Amino acid sequence: MAQFRGGINELMRQAARLQRKVEERKKELSEKEVVATAVSDKVKATVTYGGKLAKVEIDPEFLKSEGIDIALDGVVLAVNSGLEQAQKALEAELEKVTGGVKIPGLT
């Protein structure tokens, strides 16, 4: 039974080390950015791997010709696309840390 407890303790230490590595990598990547576009590249949203909106750009001619409602729809599309891309990119980076192992609650 003592050997079993020792194995569990080592497993817990390894999990804690892995969690620290994942958290460090998340922090390192939190400001990395992706740019997503919508409406034929007339609307651009820059978001971070940390899930923050950094910048929105709307082509002024597009805004003038199509109006604010269409432009805002494009912003929503671009932001959502950017957030999805950033999440996938972050997950891919974290898989490098975990060796591809998916551990619920860790990544």
- The verdict on residue 104 lying in a domain is no
Q: H/E element holding 94?
A: helix 68-98
- The verdict on residue 19 lying in a domain is yes
Of 14-23, 48-57, 80-89, 96-105, the poorest mean pLDDT is in 96-105
Nearest to 91 by CA among 51, 55, 62, 63: 51
Band (pLDDT 50/70/90 cuts) for residue 75 is very high
Over 60: is that where the pLDDT of 91 sits? yes
Over 90: is that where the pLDDT of 65 sits? yes
36-69: b (≥16 Cβ within 10 Å) or e: bbbbeebbbbbbbbeeeeeebebbeebbeebeee
Domains: count for the chain: 1
Over 70: is that where the pLDDT of 4 sits? no
Q: How far is CA 30 from the centre of its chain?
A: 8
- Structural domain for 19, as ranges: 2-98
Instruction: Output the domain CATH number for residue 59.
Output: 3.30.1310.10
Averaged pLDDT for residues 86-99? 91
- The verdict on residue 106 lying in a domain is no
Residue type for position 37? T
- The verdict on residue 105 lying in a domain is no
Place of tokens 């696309």: 81
CA atoms within 13 A on the CB side of 63: 10
- The verdict on residue 107 lying in a domain is no
CA distances to 29, 46, 78 from 32, in Å: 5, 10, 17
What is the reported pLDDT for 105? Answer: 63
- The verdict on residue 21 lying in a domain is yes
Band (pLDDT 50/70/90 cuts) for residue 6 is low
What is the reported pLDDT for 8? Answer: 85
